[in-house]
Amino acid sequence: MRLEGKVAIITGGASGIGRATVEKFVREGAKVLIADISLERAQQAVDEITAAGFDGATAACRVDVSVFAEVEAMVAKAVEIFGTLDVIFNNAGIAGGKPLLDHDPAVDYEPMIRIDQDGVYYGILAAGRQFRDQGTPGVIISTSSIYGEQAAELSFTYSAAKAAVISFTRSAAYELAQYGIRAVAITPGRVGTAIINQFSDELKETFASEQLRNKMTQPSEIADVVAFLASDEANVINGTVVHVDDGYSVFKQRLDLPTF
């Protein structure tokens, strides 16, 4: 088990990519603090994982990642429960969009920046300080997006926040390497989470067609990559943006080509 003996925090851990990653980490031998804006959902995840035979492998924590004091308390709780910290997966985020000129900054800019951008910064800072103070190596993995590297419809704020995650990751890797800390970002494409599954079948088919396998990526497939990145097998992956987009970023659409 590649994560045997490691302790991790996963934010947004009660659903979607976060929940799938919690389950993957536990199967790989890690202890995980499931951090989520909903303590009820986080505790439900703990109860279900315990019932599946992993007693003591997880604990629940409520966190609003847009509040630094709560992120600091989350890190302290992981250390209090499990004795140390080895990995943080800054995964919590929100989505949504509106044409730029229709924006209300208080609704369409500020909340997403606080959660998707500031929340990652706070996670990097709090975990980085913990790793430094422990005197042990650590891994910081953060969820960006394909939209962090390109323009897209209705995504002015979301793209900006996810681009910041990429910049944070590169700078953190540079500054924290002296402490044995690695920082990596992932850029998911179209993933079959609740955010996308709420849309019509027609729109979901369009989303699937934007990827090379012509289907949605499953949260568990992202979790597999995150588990590898968290492991010692990925020690040379640092300051890197890992595309987990099934080729979304390499093409725009398929064409009916003429016969030559």
- What residues are annotated to the active site? 158
What count of other Cβ atoms lies within 10 Å of the Cβ of residue 216? Answer: 20
Which of 85, 65, 68 lies closest to 18, judged by CA? 65
Q: What is the pLDDT of residue 32?
A: 98
User: Which residue in the block uniquely carries the two structure tokens 């990097």?
Assistant: 124
Q: What is the pLDDT of residue 255?
A: 74
For the chain, the average pLDDT equals 95
Q: What is the pLDDT of residues 227-249, one digit of tens each?
A: 999 999 999 999 999 999 999 99
- Asked whether the predicted pLDDT for residue 260 surpasses 90, the reply is no
Q: What is the pLDDT of residues 178-189, one digit of tens each?
A: 999 999 999 999
Query: How distant, in Å, are the alpha carbons of 27, 116, 117, 131, 144 from that of 167?
Result: 31, 13, 11, 21, 10
For the chain, the structural domain boundaries read 7-193+220-244
Question: Which one has a higher pLDDT value, 73 or 152?
Answer: 73
Instruction: Classify residue 133 as exposed, middle or buried by CB count within 10 Å of its CB (0-12, 13-18, 19+).
Output: exposed
Instruction: Classify residue 98 as exposed, middle or buried by CB count within 10 Å of its CB (0-12, 13-18, 19+).
Output: middle
Q: What is the pLDDT of residue 253?
A: 75
Written as one letter, the residue type at 208 is A
- pLDDT band, residue 65 (cuts 50/70/90): very high
**Please, are residues 97 and 153 in contact by the beta-carbon 8 Å criterion?**
yes
CATH number of this structure's domain 7-193+220-244: 3.40.50.720
Q: What is the pLDDT of residues 80-121, one digit of tens each?
A: 999 999 999 999 999 988 999 999 999 999 999 999 999 999
Mean per-residue pLDDT, 187-205: 88
Extract the tokens encoding 195.
């955010």
